[in-house]
């Protein structure tokens, strides 16, 4: 209780604040703040700025999420999920054809363009942070892609054992292509996606080179 001008009142605190006045926030609140800061300040956004945006101190950021590398890893998971959602939407249940491959690539590229600074934050930083951020993005995409490639190769009567290495190779290529696209004003995601699909498609079908209409396999 507090006393002022002879009137006794109960002590109050703002909603969400524990005794002591520190804002009690969740991991998602910190990550949401991190995304806003990155969108505003770019890929060099600091932990100090993230803490200020979330309305907490740096130790709270470290407690809820971790270091800069941990923040980048968590945001990489968010970005990879957005890529997966965009890819599923672009494919729309279509079978594995050259055109659907191009749509898959374009969806990934456009997601990176839409989240340019977030992508750079995730894949930037120190050498360890860069490798970890890229690996998180890759691993989220590789498993479903490898499974689709394996099923497609089996149905086409081709060797399915290449699926894992091809999936990692494709995702790695997409990450480097993404860096080029966001750094080059003249690089059109749709054109780049079509060109990469052409490169990959003939590797996928091998020496048979059937047209995509006869290889509309649904992985």
Go through the domains of the chain in sequence order and give each one's CATH number: 12-66 (1.10.10.60), 69-215 (1.10.357.10)
Q: What angle do CA 70, 178, 100 make, to 5 degrees?
A: 115
For the cut 70, the answer to whether the pLDDT of residue 68 exceeds it is yes
Instruction: Tell me what pLDDT residue 133 has.
Output: 57
For the cut 70, the answer to whether the pLDDT of residue 89 exceeds it is yes
| Residue with more model confidence, 198 or 134 | 198
Q: 18-27, 42-51, 86-95, 210-219 — which one is most confidently predicted on average?
A: 42-51
> Which of 84, 87, 79, 153 lies closest to 116, judged by CA?
79
| Residue 96: partners with Cβ closer than 8 Å, 6 or more residues away | 148, 152, 215, 216, 217, 218, 219
Q: What angle do CA 208, 213, 214 make, to 5 degrees?
A: 50
Mean pLDDT of the chain: 79
- CA–CA distance, 84 with 104 (Å, rounded to integer): 9
Q: Quick check: helix, strand or coil at residue 45? A: coil
């Amino acid at each position: 209780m507090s006393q002022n001008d002879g009137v006794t009142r109960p002590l109050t605190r703002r909603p969400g604040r524990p005794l002591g006045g520190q804002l009690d926030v969740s991991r998602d609140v910190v990550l949401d703040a991190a995304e806003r800061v990155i969108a505003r300040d770019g890929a060099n956004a600091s932990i100090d700025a993230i803490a200020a945006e979330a309305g907490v101190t740096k130790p709270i950021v470290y407690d809820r999420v971790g270091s800069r590398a941990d923040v980048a890893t968590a945001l990489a998971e968010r970005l990879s999920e957005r890529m997966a959602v965009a890819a599923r939407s672009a494919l729309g249940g279509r079978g594995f054809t050259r055109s659907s491959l191009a749509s898959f690539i374009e969806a990934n590229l456009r997601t990176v363009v839409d989240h340019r600074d977030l992508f750079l934050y995730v894949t930037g930083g120190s050498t360890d942070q860069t490798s970890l951020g890229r690996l998180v993005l890759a691993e989220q995409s590789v498993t479903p892609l490898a499974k689709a490639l394996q099923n497609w190769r089996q149905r086409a009567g081709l060797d399915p054992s290449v699926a894992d290495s091809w999936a990692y190779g494709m995702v790695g290529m997409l990450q480097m292509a993404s860096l080029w696209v966001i750094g080059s004003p003249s690089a059109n995601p749709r054109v780049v996606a079509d060109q990469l699909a052409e490169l990959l498609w003939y590797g996928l079908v091998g020496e048979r080179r059937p047209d995509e209409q006869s290889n509309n396999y649904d992985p």
